[in-house]
Amino acid sequence: MPTKSITMSGRGVIDVGESGTEVKISLPKCPRGKKFLFQGVHVAPEVCIGNTSKDVINLPRWAVSVPTYQVWPTGQIQVAFTVLSEGTQHVSAVLPAGQSIGPIADSIPVRIALLGGVTATHRFEFNIHLTGVCGTPFTCPK
């Protein structure tokens, strides 16, 4: 029986003078013995709510990073899932098979950062959408 995909959403804000933000996205409760497996991310600058549409043209290069983990018989190794943007463009990427989010319990910290060591000259808001399924993480062989 196929597992139904789940989407969770949130909003991140980078204020003037800051270089990034971390947004905790609440995770669904999975059935006993299953874990949430991250499958994809879509992040876009906000242009409709508030006054952000006039400032979005000033958005420099930025990236979003989701902590994912490779599972081994001896433990887990974090391997972040990172997607880059050239400025005002949205970013989307998928991991069709799903990836463990590791020891994270009830939320996942999604990091949005401006690139190149710059700080924000305007307030930038981002809409974040994560998808995934409840399942069993793949364990790498020894």
Q: pLDDT tens digit string along 66-105?
A: 999 988 888 888 999 999 999 999 999 999 888 888 776 7
Cβ-based neighbours of 55, under 8 Å, separated by 6 or more: 122, 123, 124
Q: Looking at the predicted structure, is the pLDDT value of residue 36 above 80? A: yes
Report the predicted TM-score, pTM, of the whole model to 2 decimal places: 0.90
CA 90 to CA 113: how far, in whole Å? 14
- Between 32 and 44, the higher pLDDT residue: 44
Share of the chain above pLDDT 90, in %: 63
pLDDT classification of 1: cutoffs 50, 70, 90 = very low
Look up the CATH number of domain 6-133.
2.60.120
